[in-house]
Amino acid sequence: MEEFNPNRYAVITEKNPREIVMLRGTGCCWHRCRFCDYHLDSSKDEAENFTLNREQLLKVTGIYQKLEVINSGSFVDLDAPTVELIIKICTEHQINQVHFECHWLHRNAIQAFRKRFFNYGIELKIKTGVETFDTLFRESYLDKGIDADNPQEIAEYFDEVCLLQGIPGQTVEGMDQDIQTGLAYFERVCVNIMQENRKPIKPDPKVIAAFAKEIYPKYIDNCRVDILMENTAFGVGGVVEHAE
């Protein structure tokens, strides 16, 4: 038996201060990435998802007028009442910017979603996990499911990118190049350092040590770069506890 009782609400006070909620959707439609088990935080029971999401959304105060919504997948996986409640909460608390996650698969749903929020005076920032701009590595090793070959094409749809670093085969030069490409084409870059989970790709301690020595000091004070050395660094998330 497995239990997953993560913290699902937090306030980020540094760099682009915002509130963050980790909601639950019906699950990532792609779910093939060879490094990810986040998508296991999902349920096909939309009523239960809404109950859980409502409890977290009611904690939002609007302290920074910005909210980030993550849901281990894409915004399209959230149930309709949850999306309606997000809009209501934003309106009530004068939140004028919301960040959502979205996989490349759903890029054509973004424009209408932006417009829907824009009609309430809310600007959306859509974040996608690119993990690396090295297409061959990304698609043949990570199985990310992005059939775009260049950052310009991805930036036509998305405002922010997540990168995955600390995995076997990465070099300091390659990781640095990915961050620089991210900064050149996107508003913000979030670097996630790989942490072990139940999927086949494991963290590489040597690559992580090289990142900590060479890359971290270079970008830690950059207000457009978030660096998550632990996947709970934003104050939400946790690990699946095996309780069998």
C-beta closer to ligand SF4: residue 25 or 151: 25
Q: Are 61 and 19 in contact, with CB atoms under 8 Å apart?
A: yes
Residue type, 44: K
31 scored as a contact of ligand SF4 (CB under 6 A): yes
93 is an interface residue for ligand SF4 by CB under 6 A: no
Distance CA 54, CA 33 (A): 29
Interacting residue with ligand SF4 among 103, 107, 125, 127 (CB under 6 A) = 103
Which C-beta is closer to ligand SF4: that of 38 or that of 211? Answer: 38
Smallest separation, CB 205 to ligand SF4 (Å): 22
Q: Does 36 bind ligand SF4 (CB under 6 A)?
A: yes
Q: Is 151 in the site for ligand SF4 (CB under 6 A)?
A: no
Q: Which stretch binds ligand SF4 (CB under 6 A): 24-32, 114-122, 178-186, 189-197?
A: 24-32
Per-residue x/- track, 184-223, ligand SF4 (CB under 6 A):
----------------------------------------
* Subset of residues 72 to 91 that bind ligand SF4, contact rule: CB under 6 A: 72-73
How far apart CA 220 and CA 53 sit, in angstroms, is: 32
Beta bridge partners of 10: 20
Kindly tell me which residue out of 10, 12, 28, 60 binds ligand SF4, with binding defined by CB under 6 A. 28
Q: Which tokens sit at 237?
A: 């998330």
CA distance 133 to 158: 14
Evaluate whether 76 touches 46 at the Cβ level (below 8 Å). Answer: no
Window of 27-35, 83-91, 203-211, 236-244 that interacts with ligand SF4 by CB under 6 A: 27-35
DSSP string across 188-229: EEEEEEP---SSS----HHHHHHIIIIIHHHHTT-TTEEEES
How far CA 2 is from CA of 29, 34, 40, 140, in Å, comes to 22, 21, 11, 31
Chain residues binding ligand SF4 by CB under 6 A are 28, 30-31, 33, 36, 38-39, 72-73, 103, 129
